Amino acid sequence: MPIFDIFQRVSAAPTNPQPQARARVFDVADLYRGPVAEAPDQTAEGALPLDEKLRQAYFWIVNTAIISPHYDIEYHEPPPQSFVLGDSRSRLTLPSAQSYSSFVLMPLLTFATRRKCLFTGGPGRGKTASALLMGVLAGYPVREVRRAMVHGHPQMTIADLLGNPLPADLVAAQNMDAIRIAWRRWLSLRVKIVDEYNRIPTRTQSALLTVMGDNYAELLDHIHECPEAAWFLTANDDLGGGTYPVIEALRDRIDVVVQALAFNSRFLEDLLTRIEENIRPEEVVPRQIVFSEAELDRAQQEIRAVELPAPVRRRLEFFTSQFEFCESAGEQFEYKTKDTVRLAGVEWHTITAQETGRDRLKDLGCQTRNGFSVRVLMTLILYAKAIAYFRGNSTVELEDLRQILPFVLHDKLTADPDAPFFEQQDNAVYRTDRVGWLRKLWDLSCADYDRLNLDKDDPVGELSEEFQRGLEGLTESEVNRRITRIERVIAEWAKGRKLYGHLYDDLLKLKYLHQRYTNYLRWLKTQ
């Protein structure tokens, strides 16, 4: 390998130097480390921490493989410089800390966490190339990744997708067990790529759903168990432009959605170099950034071990609580949810017309037609941990959640374009900018959280903490005291406050605590 091959250059560690205190050990061997690399090939497994290796992979991709000079995942340490430009007063912010391109980072985090990522965007913007790179990062030869890629098309059958029974067995077999299946190669890979998934016929999508959701394929009563894998799907237009509508359950299995941003013409020279050098980035991935299966397993464990501190988790709880509540959806408290409306098949506007009393502009819940599921919350937490890990941190920061949230909720939270929020002149842009809107939602939620002073004044939090300490040994009088306190809090809230999503969740939690104490009290009295 020539030492000056620019396509093989991997950024030197540390790629994200941390300002915090380090162990002070001076190694005399450092004398001979410097600008001249004696042995550029650092292939020994485990030589670098895996978060560092992930960052090296990221920087190799953005610097060499995918020309994506966008820093839409912005981090700041000192306050950033920003400028207001144009008639629409667009704000350009210059990040003051290491920032990232979502188009590269999200697939990489998906790769590390073995989740499912959908690339959207017009043709020729690098969606398939990015997916291919992820396959190569997992250690598969380019040719194998290319051959194993599923290409969606309108005539695709389940056999095309999963495999074929062997023709000889079909004729000779006396029972189904005797029919052998030639499973498709892609089912056994740890990186699965489905190109243009919205061109797959609906029936075949259902077979795909089984593989995506349950990690096995079924054909003629035969089961093929698939290894845990990262999934990469592409769609030119995810909002209806495909040949077939994507079934909702399949869409729900996708963890993050990332948009291929437009090519910046100022980077044409980089394209020129590729043409002149006749280089395809996926064919020159440096060995240092290829992950073994064991390394990926370890990275997953390390990601799960990243801490989500209680104050950050509390903000996420508050944010989540805003969206499911729908006061006029049900009579019983538990059924006052948007899901009740959806299941009833009622026109959305007939429900919103009944909403009275609340400030529909300030109520964040009014901006959406749904809340989000447990699966989405789990995905959100996992990706927040993954981005914190990627940045070299052992705990999730508030900004990690803020940055990851739009990509996880992209297809999960449905905006209500008729909501008063979008009618405001400054907010009309959020009808088209989904990522911006979701970040705005988060910011508004955090501002509301601060306004309510919930970090310091959170009776439900205190009651929950008290309950968490367990019921073991609680006396009757103490239980009665707690029940009375719960009732008092509810009575206080009933006095004048209007019902909002976060209150709804808090009230249901109080009801839960009340019920648990009531049951315990009842049991206590029988002892």
Q: By CB under 8 A, name the binding residues for another protein.
A: 2-6, 9, 19-22, 24, 26-38, 273
Question: Taking a C-beta distance cutoff of 8 angstroms, is the pair 99, 62 a contact?
Answer: no
Closer of 176 and 272 to another protein (Cβ): 272
- State the nearest-atom distance from the C-beta of 34 to another protein, in Å: 3
Closer of 274 and 314 to another protein (Cβ): 274
- State the nearest-atom distance from the C-beta of 222 to another protein, in Å: 53
Closer of 5 and 418 to another protein (Cβ): 5
Contacts of 262 (CB under 8 A, 6+ apart): 125
- State the nearest-atom distance from the C-beta of 41 to another protein, in Å: 12
Residue 394, CB half-sphere, CA atoms under 13 Å: how many?
A: 2
- State the nearest-atom distance from the C-beta of 68 to another protein, in Å: 20
Q: What are the contacts of 40-47 at 24+ separation with CB within 8 A?
A: 40/3, 41/1, 41/287, 41/288, 42/288, 43/287, 43/288, 45/292, 45/294, 45/295, 46/295
- State the nearest-atom distance from the C-beta of 273 to another protein, in Å: 7
Closer of 276 and 347 to another protein (Cβ): 276
Residue 488 has what DSSP assignment?
Answer: H
What φ, ψ does residue 47 adopt, rounded to 5°? Answer: -65, -30
- State the nearest-atom distance from the C-beta of 525 to another protein, in Å: 55
Closer of 9 and 358 to another protein (Cβ): 9
Question: Taking a C-beta distance cutoff of 8 angstroms, is the pair 339, 370 a contact?
Answer: yes
Closer of 221 and 277 to another protein (Cβ): 277
Cα radius of gyration (the chain)? 27
Closer of 3 and 305 to another protein (Cβ): 3
- State the nearest-atom distance from the C-beta of 25 to another protein, in Å: 9
CA distance 284 to 290: 11
Closer of 369 and 391 to another protein (Cβ): 391
- State the nearest-atom distance from the C-beta of 54 to another protein, in Å: 24
Residue 429, number of CB atoms within 10 A of its CB: 14
Residue 290 has what DSSP assignment?
Answer: P
CA distance 432 to 424: 14
Question: Taking a C-beta distance cutoff of 8 angstroms, is the pair 222, 243 a contact?
Answer: no
Question: Taking a C-beta distance cutoff of 8 angstroms, is the pair 465, 329 a contact?
Answer: no
